[in-house]
Amino acid sequence: MTREIVLDTETTGIRPEEGDRVVEIGCLELINHLPTGKTFHKYINPERDMPEEAFRVHGLSEEFLRDKPKFVEVVDAFIDFIGDAPLVIHNAAFDIGFLDAELKKIGREAIGLARGIDTVRIARTKFPGAQVSLDALCRRFNIDNSGRVKHGALLDAELLAEVYLELVGGRQQGLSLAGLDNDPMALAPVAAPRGPARPVRPHAASEEELAAHAKFIAKLKEPIWLKPD
């Protein structure tokens, strides 16, 4: 059983080292690449203003976030939910960088980029030169993203879970022959069950069959076997 967590964040900007903060975390659990229905979702008070550029992306205003819990108040529940599972993230360096900055502020252990499964890198490897934004991948795999008017951490995590499933082989990946090389008998021919031996059947043509054949041959015009070399 493989447990993974699909994760997305929304923030006040793009530079945690300059004071930008996490304002939303959305996670969902996968077992063997499929959602289990278990999720984690929190809006977070960033304890600062909301720049207009960030507001246009996710629509989370300073007023809306003012009464939401601070990161330190949700961190234990967040860490419990993700456990030690790999984190499936679209552009992992961005989200993990922000989360590690938040964890550092409160003296907690960093997550580290090594835990991230970056779907941007997977998509660029599979589709070199193609657009690999979440919207572009949804279009490629015919995933309905019509509800994505603005970015939202949990909605984006749900869409990413579908994209990730397609990137790793789709819903029928279990039908592949991967891994059979480790089992040399996996594709070995199966012997048919033995039964009582049958007597040999005669295959020579009867006189009637020979006469019918000769009559048929006589109707052919210029048969190729009678032509000179």
> Which positions are annotated as active-site residues?
151
Give start and end residues of each alpha helix (H) in 106-205.
Answer: 119-126, 134-140, 153-167
Dihedral sign, Cα of residue 44, residue 46, residue 49, residue 52: negative
> Which residue is listed with tokens 């996968």?
30
Question: How far apart are alpha carbons 137 and 131 in whole angstroms?
Answer: 8
Q: Are the C-beta atoms of 6 and 36 separated by less than 8 Å?
A: no
| Total residues belonging to the chain | 229
Question: How far apart are alpha carbons 52 and 23 in whole angstroms?
Answer: 14
> Which residue is listed with tokens 């993203």?
145
In this structure, the strands spanning 87-89 and 116-118 are parallel
Q: Are the C-beta atoms of 153 and 5 separated by less than 8 Å?
A: no
Question: How far apart are alpha carbons 44 and 3 in whole angstroms?
Answer: 26
Question: How far apart are alpha carbons 132 and 28 in whole angstroms?
Answer: 21
